[in-house]
């Protein structure tokens, strides 16, 4: 089995800890490689390198930095198929979704490369004569990027690309469940010609290496995607660093009585069972008008029965494995909880019969909005159907939750659609489309316990830069604002 190394100061390096850990293929439970179990000492080396690289990288004109990002785009495009296969093997999602993950990385690097010739500030009139006012963008400094396993190439890219174009240098820690994907991405960034020290990668657990990243006094910003629990910990421990948090979700699809049910069915199948339900934007609640609920339940069960569980590498697989054994146990725990809470198990409700971390797609009906299966993030292929009587009740049920990431409504009625757009407490609302499918040039993020950060599109630039205000007084005399004589 191959041993992979950290990337510090432009070199592939073993950890000072001399310890390693394994990453498993979730479809076979077999190890795919061994990785550095990094220590605080490794982090100090990486931070020193990132600090040394900062001034020269910041001084490189943004359009020149962009040339490297355009090169990254080219390399990602050339390598898309191979990277997607690695992602299937390490993370488990089906091949076409993994290819979509790589495409997202391509898109965000391309978008952010274009930003090299924008990075807009503002100009605005002064209240005084002969004075010029403007804002410019400056980098945050050395930033820490900590990412989850469910989009192991796209999510790091959503952060690396804006961080680079804004002139930051980076310490990147991928999830311990997908370190190989992180390493393959950094190999490409290195090949594209990033100067040494601009990006440093450390593998290892949240506790051993994530925690010291958050607390490191020389790291000025943290961009994190992951669970609410870790997000809270970061908020508490990052002191006065600039922090971006993209956390969990419990997203709902509302289906009104006038909805095109065939269209809604496709949306629910994709939202609930795509990526085996392991998306922060997964649709784990269906809030449906009582007039159409029974018909829709039948349609959903019929289609779900046809979904095939298996390795994501096989072309006929619809649902890949969960990420690990404890994810299977967690899903099974919630399924039993749902049954005990009085929900009706319509379909599924058991682990897959094949080797690997599989769980059957599962549908509950008669779910009450306050049941724990309708409140807590299960992060697996489980969907809860909740009946409602009208649009107001639908929106109340949708909002009766601690999270606020994505949401969707299926209706032909403009008034319903706009009510949903205006009243749903979420960072994202889709009309007649599922809860998943973000495009990289729009801001992405949530409200409430999902965190209130935004990333991607222009929000990515805001996350990884500071706005500096410039006053240029060319009057040749002391002028005081606010009319002070």
Q: Which helix (H) or strand (E) holds 145?
A: strand 142-146
Which segment (11-19, 200-208, 265-273, 408-416) binds ligand NAP by CB under 6 A? Answer: 200-208
In the complex, minimum distance from the CB of residue 472 to ligand NAP, in angstroms, rounded to a whole number: 40
The DSSP code sequence of 380-437 is SSEEEEEEESSHHHHHHHHHSSS--SEEEEE-S-HHHHHHHHHH--SSEEEESS-S--
Out of 97, 246, 297, 462, which residue is the one contacting ligand NAP (CB under 6 A)?
Answer: 246
Provide the 10 A C-beta neighbour count for residue 417: 18
Instruction: Calculate the CA 191 to chain-centre distance.
Output: 25
* Residue 249 interacting with ligand NAP (CB under 6 A): yes
Out of 207, 239, 262, 485, which residue is the one contacting ligand NAP (CB under 6 A)?
Answer: 207
b or e along 200-217 (b: 16 or more beta carbons within 10 Å of the residue's beta carbon)?
Answer: bbbbbebebbbbbbbbbe
Out of 205, 396, 413, 452, which residue is the one contacting ligand NAP (CB under 6 A)?
Answer: 205
**Cα distances (angstroms) measured from residue 308 to each of 315, 320, 390, 470:** 10, 9, 35, 59
Terminal C-alpha separation, the chain:
76
* Residue 239 interacting with ligand NAP (CB under 6 A): no
Would you give the DSSP letter of residue 193? T
Tokens of residue 425, six digits: 């407490």
b or e along 347-376 (b: 16 or more beta carbons within 10 Å of the residue's beta carbon)?
Answer: bbbebbeeebbbbbbbbbbbbebebebbeb
Out of 58, 227, 324, 366, which residue is the one contacting ligand NAP (CB under 6 A)?
Answer: 227
Which residues from 366-425 bind ligand NAP, rule CB under 6 A?
377, 379, 405
Distance (Å, whole) CA 242 – CA 167: 15
Out of 116, 167, 210, 277, which residue is the one contacting ligand NAP (CB under 6 A)?
Answer: 210
* Residue 211 interacting with ligand NAP (CB under 6 A): yes
Q: Which is nearer to ligand NAP, 152 or 369 (CB)?
A: 152
* Residue 452 interacting with ligand NAP (CB under 6 A): no
The DSSP code sequence of 206-274 is IIIIIHHHHH-TT--EEEEES-HHHHHHHHHHSTTSEEEEE----EEEEE-TTS-HHHHHHHHHHHHHG
> 181, 280, 360, 398: which is the annotated catalytic residue?
280
Which segment (20-28, 245-253, 264-272, 336-344) binds ligand NAP by CB under 6 A? Answer: 245-253
Out of 157, 175, 251, 276, which residue is the one contacting ligand NAP (CB under 6 A)?
Answer: 175
Which residues from 300-339 bind ligand NAP, rule CB under 6 A?
none
Out of 148, 197, 277, 312, which residue is the one contacting ligand NAP (CB under 6 A)?
Answer: 148
Q: Which helix (H) or strand (E) holds 135?
A: strand 131-139
Out of 248, 310, 321, 349, which residue is the one contacting ligand NAP (CB under 6 A)?
Answer: 248
Q: Is 280 a catalytic residue?
A: yes
Q: Is 485 a catalytic residue?
A: no
In the complex, minimum distance from the CB of residue 397 to ligand NAP, in angstroms, rounded to a whole number: 20
Tokens of residue 212, six digits: 């010291």
Q: Which is nearer to ligand NAP, 206 or 351 (CB)?
A: 206
Residues 102-141, mask of contacts with ligand NAP (x by CB under 6 A): ----------------------------------------
Q: Which is nearer to ligand NAP, 219 or 371 (CB)?
A: 219
Distance (Å, whole) CA 481 – CA 287: 55
Cβ burial, residue 240 (10 Å; 0-12/13-18/19+): exposed
> 87, 104, 184, 246: which is the annotated catalytic residue?
246
Q: Which is nearer to ligand NAP, 210 or 267 (CB)?
A: 210
Helix, strand, coil proportions of the chain in percent (round to 5)?
Answer: 40, 20, 40
Distance (Å, whole) CA 4 – CA 221: 27
In the complex, minimum distance from the CB of residue 461 to ligand NAP, in angstroms, rounded to a whole number: 17
Which segment (13-21, 53-61, 199-207, 386-394) binds ligand NAP by CB under 6 A? Answer: 199-207
Residues 274-293, mask of contacts with ligand NAP (x by CB under 6 A): ------x-------------
Q: Helix, strand or coil for residue 326?
A: helix
Out of 109, 111, 149, 416, which residue is the one contacting ligand NAP (CB under 6 A)?
Answer: 149
Q: Closest Cα to residue 269, out of 243, 306, 232?
A: 306
* Residue 230 interacting with ligand NAP (CB under 6 A): yes
In the complex, minimum distance from the CB of residue 415 to ligand NAP, in angstroms, rounded to a whole number: 30
Rg (CA), the chain: 24
Q: Which is nearer to ligand NAP, 110 or 455 (CB)?
A: 455
In the complex, minimum distance from the CB of residue 60 to ligand NAP, in angstroms, rounded to a whole number: 29
Q: Which is nearer to ligand NAP, 49 or 211 (CB)?
A: 211
Helix 154-165 crosses helix 95-115 at what angle (to 10 degrees)?
10
**Chain contacts with ligand NAP (rule: CB under 6 A):** 146-150, 173, 175-176, 205-207, 210-211, 214, 225-227, 230, 233, 246-249, 280, 377, 379, 405, 450
Enumerate the active-site residues.
Answer: 246, 280
């Amino acid at each position: 089995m191959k041993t992979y190394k950290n990337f510090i100061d432009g070199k592939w390096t073993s950890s000072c800890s001399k310890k390693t850990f394994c990453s498993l293929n979730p479809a076979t439970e077999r190890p795919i490689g061994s990785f550095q179990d990094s220590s605080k000492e490794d982090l100090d080396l990486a931070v020193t390198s990132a600090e040394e690289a900062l001034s020269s990288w910041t001084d490189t004109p943004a359009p020149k930095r962009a040339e490297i990002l355009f090169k990254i785009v080219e390399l990602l495009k050339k390598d898309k198929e191979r990277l997607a296969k690695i992602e299937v093997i390490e993370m488990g999602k089906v091949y076409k979704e993994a290819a979509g993950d790589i495409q997202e990385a391509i898109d965000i690097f391309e978008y952010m490369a274009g930003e090299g010739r924008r990075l807009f500030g503002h100009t605005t009139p002064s209240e005084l004569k002969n004075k010029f006012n403007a804002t410019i963008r400056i980098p945050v400094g050395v930033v820490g990027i900590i990412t989850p396993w469910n989009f192991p190439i796209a999510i790091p890219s959503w952060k690396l690309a804006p961080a680079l174009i804004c002139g930051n240098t980076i310490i990147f820690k991928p999830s311990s469940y997908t370190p190989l994907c992180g390493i393959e991405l950094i190999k490409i960034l290195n090949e594209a010609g990033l100067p040494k020290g601009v990006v440093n990668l450390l593998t290892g657990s949240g506790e051993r290496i994530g925690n010291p990243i958050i607390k490191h006094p020389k790291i000025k910003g943290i961009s994190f995607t992951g669970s609410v629990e870790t997000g809270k910990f970061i908020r508490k421990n990052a002191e006065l660093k600039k922090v971006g948090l993209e956390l969990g979700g419990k997203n709902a699809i509302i289906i009104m009585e006038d909805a095109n049910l065939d269209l809604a069915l496709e949306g629910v199948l994709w939202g609930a069972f795509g990526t085996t339900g392991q998306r922060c934007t997964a649709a784990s609640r269906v809030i449906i008008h009582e007039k159409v609920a029974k018909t829709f339940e039948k349609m959903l069960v019929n289609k779900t029965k046809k979904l095939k569980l298996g390795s994501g590498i096989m072309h006929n697989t619809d649902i890949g494995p969960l990420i690990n054994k404890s994810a299977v146990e967690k899903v099974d725990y919630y399924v039993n909880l749902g049954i005990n809470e009085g929900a009706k198990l319509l379909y599924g409700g058991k682990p897959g019969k094949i080797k690997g971390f599989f769980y059957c797609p599962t549908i509950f009906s008669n779910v009450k909005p306050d049941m724990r299966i309708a409140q807590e993030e299960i992060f697996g292929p489980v969907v809860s159907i909740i009946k409602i009587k009208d649009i107001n009740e639908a929106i109340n049920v949708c909002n009766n939750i601690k999270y606020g990431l994505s949401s969707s409504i299926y209706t032909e009625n403009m008034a319903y659609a706009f009510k949903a757009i205006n009243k749903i407490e979420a960072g994202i609302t889709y009309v007649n489309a599922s809860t998943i499918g973000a495009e990289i040039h729009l801001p992405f993020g949530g409200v409430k316990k999902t965190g209130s950060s935004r990333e991607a599109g222009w929000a990515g630039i805001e996350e990884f830069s500071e706005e500096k205000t410039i006053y240029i007084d060319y009057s040749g005399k002391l002028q005081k604002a606010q009319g002070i004589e």
